[in-house]
Structure 1
Amino acid sequence: MILILFGLLISSITVILFLILCTRIIISFIKNKPFPKKLLITTLGGVVLVFSIYIYETYFFTFSKIDRESMQKGPGPLTSPTEEYTANAYYELYGGAAGGVNVWVEITDNNEKNKMQTVYYSDAKNNISMEWLDGDTLYILNNDPDYPNSNRSIELEIGKEIYHETGLACKSLLMKDEYETCYQN
């Protein structure tokens, strides 16, 4: 979150510097003054910094940014029919009084020293539940019947598929070895 705020601050400063640079370039041509090299270098530095933050946020995403300190327990634990996996859902509040709730589902592999993997992350709707369809397939229901376009329900094959509503997990270079297929809205 701090990195995003820092990026917005740098973006704002860079836009202001760009406008000043354009003005100074026009003045330098009209009045035959020297080209504003330092201002150009500073503006280009801001552009490079903003793009670096964007690339980092997009391609180096992990689920480690989930606010686990203020999380609330959701549906689960739900053990698979083979007892190999246990699914737990959690809620993450965001935005204060006017904000909303995200839901994520973590799978614990009971055979691999309780290894945990986040397989689902989305905006929480009114109706949330989980059901194992077989030993490796988990159905996650996340919809609001009053809003037909709000359905975020999906079947996931554990160990092979994940879902991230905004798609950041699908683009992440750090997470590409954790799944074969990534779904997004």
Structure 2
Amino acid sequence: MGKRDFHTANEEKRIKRNTLLVITGFTVFFFSVVAYGIYWMFYDMNRIPKSVMIEEKSSPNGFYTVRAYLSDAGATTSYSVVAELIFNTEHNKPKNIYFQNNQHSVEMHWVDNDTVVINGVELNVPDAVYDYRRE
């Protein structure tokens, strides 16, 4: 095997390796975009439509307010209840903390400054989230 053959073989290996890396990179990128799109379309709680506010309760210390809305996503879906957490003392964006399908009303009360019960589901705010699709 001559010096030229050795150089050509190394060059071919390098081209194959680089081609494989590019194809793998595009494949990972494509499936990541598809996975995020599915999450965004079907599971992102911030995309749930809110129609009519049906109840609002503030925490005992006034740090939080929970607003419950009746959600109607269209003719092919049933009514749902969506609850969002409002931060009264901080400048955070409201956060959806509760989503339940096939409901028309809400029963909501605060247990203490950081615990709210919505339709029998106990949530420790601000971190807890209930989404019936993930149960």
**Which TM-score applies when normalising by structure 1?**
0.49
- Which secondary structure does the structure 2 equivalent of 1:131 belong to? strand
Task: Select which of 59, 82, 102 maps to 2:61.
Answer: 82
Task: Select which of 73, 81, 100 maps to 2:78.
Answer: 100
> Aligned AA for 1:56?
G
**How many aligned positions are there?**
106
Superposed displacement of residue 51, structure 1: 9.1
Task: Select which of 66, 82, 91 maps to 2:70.
Answer: 91
Contact persistence 2:54–2:105 (CA under 8 A): no
- What is the CA RMSD across the aligned residues, in angstroms? 2.7
* Residues 38-49 of structure 1: pairs in structure 2 closer than 5 A: none
Superposed displacement of residue 99, structure 1: 3.4
User: What percentage of aligned pairs have identical amino acids?
Assistant: 23
In 1, the alpha carbon distance for the partners of 2:69 and 2:40 equals: 25
Change (3 A) 1:52 1:160: closer
Change (3 A) 1:81 1:95: same
Q: Say yes or no: does 1:73 pair with 2:53.
A: yes
Unaligned runs of 5+ in 2: 1-29
**Which TM-score applies when normalising by structure 2?**
0.65
Unaligned runs of 5+ in 1: 1-48, 142-152, 168-184
Paired position in structure 2 for 1:162:
129
> Aligned AA for 1:90?
Y
Task: Select which of 27, 48, 57 maps to 2:38.
Answer: 57
* Regions of 4+ moved over 6 Å: none
Superposed displacement of residue 55, structure 1: 5.1
